[in-house]
Structure 1
């Protein structure tokens, strides 16, 4: 099973759609999770069809913010059990032990108060699972100060809250390849880089 997860920061631009199509062509994922789509499901449905996926679930953006899209091929046997502004929780029927039974897709809200609510939702989902679980995310959070460069240090309270979520859910962070940091503020002056999630 190949899975593509991308915080596309708006799916309304031609270049973003072209990049998405290139990623799909090169990687042929069976499941795609898009965050911060910022456009309606009607517009996203056309893009999904052009990418060759026939199953979907959406969470509409609020104004010009947020929005989630989950696409999968018919042979992926995915059933969505729950969806909210920041979480889509699904079960996948497969005879293979190499693929997870449950998959939870999370987009961590940028605002701390909303993030705490989302973390509690993820915790509650984790307590009722029987079988393997994959948590696919853009948590918008840091596990340690080493995951940030520039600007003010991250509050230890926030770091500990995030670490507590991962511990409570009994999940581990998978290694990654590529740049040490996954986000940059792209502002002249004080450059801030972070490895979010």
Structure 2
């Protein structure tokens, strides 16, 4: 049988074959009896990609050699993915049947992943990729095959999908890996960055925007002013901060130039310029770290060494594993295009949230009366300005922004400017005013929990801070 490929490379034991066709070109940079590492070139790629294909042995002693070989091949900065049969699992959910999973079993692969700085790209399809094909209680399923990628690979290929296909006739399921740019060039919503509050001139920018004359109820006035503030903050940010990642690169270049000057010029002016460049880089790196910290929403890590790399990796892993690449519709067919997946999600949740509820009037007698008349009167009493302020300042300023894009930090930072309008909006709510769509809108985020089944998809709803 002739396969439609131009070239093939194999590892030392000839149990890993990599077939490819022009214009793809491959260079072997690592080879052993358990793996082969290739540098892949293509005219359409902005830079080369590094791929390691593995077929691990069954014993821990032999796999130690594999981990060391892979770490030797690890690229310093190139995108890198490691895929294949690792012959080991890392979690009890990756096994069914046989003896119970011991945590020590997964430590070797977890240790390698930590040292190699790679993470699991996730999957869709069956939960397991291997079965011993025995009957009854002797049958064992495991997820032995997976795709691991580093942060550079996640940046280079914005959408990575891994599908577990049918095992038959093998005991292993083939992995279908898709690389696409589905999430590229999509409009990015406004998100208030808490690091902006370091600039005192932001408060004046908000104050000027807040002078907008508005008509309507206090709630609608607040919404209109928030929309105006959002626009002017975006324009202000272009001048005040710009692209924080480009700022880091520029600061690094300026520091290098200043260091080179000091090597040739020991004057006081050269030393001053060096110190300014160092301070500029520290500020740029601090802004970058705080950006990724807010994106990662990791609240238990506050102090210590620079954490930008960790925060960035957390965001990348969440983004890759949280992407939904396909859904199974009511007839069992797989839907893989963006429009089809979106249509399924909208239809499912529209039907779910519009289902008529059963009559509950005859069940009221089962609910104990805990709130007294005095308590109810207290709850209905309009709060004071100080009470509203106390509640807003007690809320988490680092929580995720809602559809309006504003975090709690915005409201505490700009309180002296926005306090009156916020308080009037609260009083309007207590008086029974209708809530505008701007206030009631909610962002619904689907989190894959079961492969392909939208009914088992986790849902996170983020409300605006005004709803909190």
Q: TM-score range by the shorter chain?
A: 0.5 to 0.7
Matching residue of 2:90: 143
2:12–2:31 contact (8 Å) kept in structure 1? no
Matching residue of 2:411: none
Q: How many residues matched?
A: 144
Write the deviation string for residues 104-126 of structure 1: whole angstroms up to 9, x where unpaired: 11111122211111112112222
Matching residue of 1:115: 63
Matching residue of 1:20: none
Matches within 5 A, 1:39-118: 47=1, 50-59=2-11, 61=13, 67-94=15-42, 96=44, 101-118=49-66
Cα displacement (A) at 1:72: 0.9
CA distance in 2, matches of 1:60, 1:184: 27
CA distance in 2, matches of 1:102, 1:132: 6
Cα displacement (A) at 1:100: 5.7
Q: Which has the larger radius of gyration?
A: 2
Cα displacement (A) at 1:98: 7.5
TM-score of the aligned structures, taking structure 1 as reference length: 0.66
2:10–2:17 contact (8 Å) kept in structure 1? yes
Write the deviation string for residues 39-82 of structure 1: whole angstroms up to 9, x where unpaired: xxxxxxxx5xx111121112364xxxx72211111211211122
CA distance in 1, matches of 2:8, 2:52: 15
Root mean square deviation of aligned Cα? 2.1
CA distance in 2, matches of 1:100, 1:177: 27
Write the deviation string for residues 105-157 of structure 1: whole angstroms up to 9, x where unpaired: 1111122211111112112222x433111212211111211111111123322
CA separation of 1:99 and 1:144: change in aligned 2, threshold 3 A: farther
**Which residue, 124, 133, 140 being the options, matches 1:186?**
133
**Larger RCO (alpha carbons 8 Å, 6+ apart):** 1
1:53–1:72 contact (8 Å) kept in structure 2? yes
Cα displacement (A) at 1:96: 4.5
Provide the secondary structure at the position in 2 that maps to 1:158.
helix
Q: Which structure has the highest helix share of the two?
A: 2
Structure 1 residues 139-148 or 186-195, which shifts more? 186-195
2:55–2:86 contact (8 Å) kept in structure 1? yes
CA distance in 2, matches of 1:59, 1:104: 11
1:106–1:136 contact (8 Å) kept in structure 2? yes
Structure 2 gap ranges (5+) = 146-468
**Which residue, 101, 107, 110 being the options, matches 1:154?**
101
CA distance in 1, matches of 2:106, 2:116: 16
CA distance in 1, matches of 2:4, 2:29: 23
CA distance in 2, matches of 1:97, 1:178: 29
Query: Is 1:170 the counterpart of 2:117 in the alignment?
Result: yes
Structure 1 gap ranges (5+) = 1-46
CA separation of 1:191 and 1:98: change in aligned 2, threshold 3 A: farther
CA separation of 1:97 and 1:177: change in aligned 2, threshold 3 A: same
Provide the secondary structure at the position in 1 that maps to 2:110.
helix
